[in-house]
């Protein structure tokens, strides 16, 4: 019985992954508003009720897509499990992530930015998710800068929380500028410039 149960669970995981992959493809091509649950179900080879069973609602499916995008981004960080990235590793990853986004994931970036704007008000479907995601991001950045101050990689007087908020604001803002005007805004070049400047400040070489 245990073997059968395991097979059923694996099929469930595979089916869920197929639905998320189908949603990513269709949301990127048609937008969230232009894509119904039935279209995602058809693309994934399941019934609409199966989508609702796994995600509860279309909003739940959208959240799963956003979580999958974050999971893929963290996978690219390439830090051993349980380890904390060094300052150089983390700053280098931010640039590599920009390279990846510019090359292959503009649609996912646009989806993230659009949905953030649509869920600014408390009570909107994904407001809590975006708020908590922002808090987690800033907490990770703050911990990174605090470790850098503790090990001498950054000045002892640095305020980790303020610097984390500044860095998060840069990351959100540059994606918006790039999405609006990709012909004039080079996402990777601006990332490199900002990260180089940040690294200089943290090492006491900047202004």
CATH number for position 106:
1.10.357
Contact by Cβ (8 Å): 76, 93: yes
Contact by Cβ (8 Å): 50, 16: no
CA-to-CA separations, 132 to 6, 126, 169, in angstroms, rounded: 33, 10, 15
pLDDT tens-digit profile of 123-171? 998 999 999 999 999 999 999 999 999 988 888 888 999 999 999 999 9
Per-residue model confidence (pLDDT) at position 63: 93
Q: Among 13, 38, 67, where does a domain finish? A: 67
Per-residue model confidence (pLDDT) at position 37: 96
Whether 83 shows a pLDDT value over 90: the answer reads no
Per-residue model confidence (pLDDT) at position 79: 67
Longest dimension (CA), the chain: 66
Give SS3 for 163.
helix
DSSP string, 106-153: HHHHHHHHHHHHHT-STTSTTHHHHHHHHHHHHHHHHHHHHHHHHTTS
Q: Are residues 85 and 173 in the same domain?
A: yes
With bands split at pLDDT 50, 70 and 90, how would you rate the model's confidence at 84? Answer: confident
Per-residue model confidence (pLDDT) at position 2: 54
Q: Are residues 89 and 170 in the same domain?
A: yes
In angstroms, how far is the first alpha carbon of the chain from the final one?
66
Number of structural domains the chain divides into: 2
CATH number for position 7:
1.10.10.60
The Cα 91–Cα 80 span in angstroms is 16
Per-residue model confidence (pLDDT) at position 1: 55
- The whole-model pTM stands at 0.83
Per-residue model confidence (pLDDT) at position 207: 41
Give the pLDDT mean for 42-49. 95
The Cα 187–Cα 114 span in angstroms is 17
Q: Are residues 96 and 170 in the same domain?
A: yes
Q: Are residues 96 and 28 in the same domain?
A: no
CA-to-CA separations, 73 to 8, 94, 159, in angstroms, rounded: 29, 10, 26
Q: Among 45, 67, 89, where does a domain finish? A: 67
Q: Are residues 91 and 137 in the same domain?
A: yes
With bands split at pLDDT 50, 70 and 90, how would you rate the model's confidence at 206? Answer: very low
Give the pLDDT mean for 2-17. 72
Domain span including residue 99: 76-207
């Amino acid at each position: 019985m245990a073997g059968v149960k395991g097979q059923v669970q694996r099929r469930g995981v595979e089916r869920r992954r197929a639905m998320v992959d189908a949603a990513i493809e269709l949301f990127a091509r048609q937008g969230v508003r232009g894509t119904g649950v039935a279209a995602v179900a058809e693309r994934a080879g399941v019934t609409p009720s199966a989508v609702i069973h796994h995600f509860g609602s279309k909003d739940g499916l959208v959240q799963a897509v956003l979580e999958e995008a974050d999971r893929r981004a963290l996978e690219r960080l390439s830090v051993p499990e349980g380890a904390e990235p060094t300052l150089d590793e983390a700053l280098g990853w931010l640039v590599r992530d920009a390279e990846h986004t510019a090359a292959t994931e503009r649609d996912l970036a646009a989806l993230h930015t659009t949905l953030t704007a649509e869920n600014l008000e408390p009570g909107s479907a994904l407001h809590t998710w975006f708020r908590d995601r922002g808090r987690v991001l800033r907490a990770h950045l703050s911990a990174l800068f605090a470790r850098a101050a503790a090990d001498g990689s950054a000045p002892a007087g640095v305020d980790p929380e303020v610097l984390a908020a500044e860095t998060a604001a840069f990351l959100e803002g540059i994606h918006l500028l790039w999405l609006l005007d990709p012909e004039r805004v080079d996402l990777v070049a601006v990332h490199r410039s900002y990260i180089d400047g940040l690294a200089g400040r943290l090492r006491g070489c900047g202004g």
